[in-house]
Amino acid sequence: MQNIQNITPCLWFDGQAEEAAHFYTSVFKKSKIEEVLLYGEAGPGEKGSVLTVTFSLNGQQFVALNGGPEYHFTPAVSFMVPCDTQEEIDHYWTRFLEGGAPVQCGWLTDKFGVSWQIFPRILPAMLQDKDAKKADSVMRAMMGMVKLDLAQLRLAYEQA
């Protein structure tokens, strides 16, 4: 049975939709630009300029819209990127910080203002461990980090 995506995030940009889509597809291995839709005579953008770019990141479809300066991204919505290794964490962290800014606990904002959470896939299980000492130890370790360090999180978990 094929997985059919029913919800597609639409990201609102002020003239940077195509640049953003190309950047994001360069970050994720299994990604591609699927379609570029241009403004026509009816506007409201200049005829022939980019209205939307449909792209996919690891099979998840997105639409980037050149909607204008009215709206901006906030950390109230972020995209979570679970990673299996520190190398993956480092890759995404480094790429998204190109023109972006680190926050805390694996969060960062990219150069377009979009918030991302780069975290080890095992982290939720560690934070939900039935042994409260282990879960608390991992939480304390995570709260002291900007980019998450998988080895340090495992150490906090194992030594609790």
Average pLDDT score over residue span 41-56: 94
Beta strands in the chain (DSSP E): 10-13, 31-38, 50-57, 60-66, 78-83, 101-102, 107-109, 115-120
- pLDDT at residue 25, rounded to an integer: 98
pTM of the predicted structure, to 2 decimals: 0.93
CB contact at 8 A, 120 and 152: no
Asked whether the predicted pLDDT for residue 3 surpasses 70, the reply is no
State what percent of residues in the chain have pLDDT above 90. Answer: 94
pLDDT, one tens digit per residue, over 62-113 is: 999 999 999 999 999 999 999 999 999 999 999 999 999 999 999 999 999 9
- Could you tell me the two tokens for 129? 């461990």
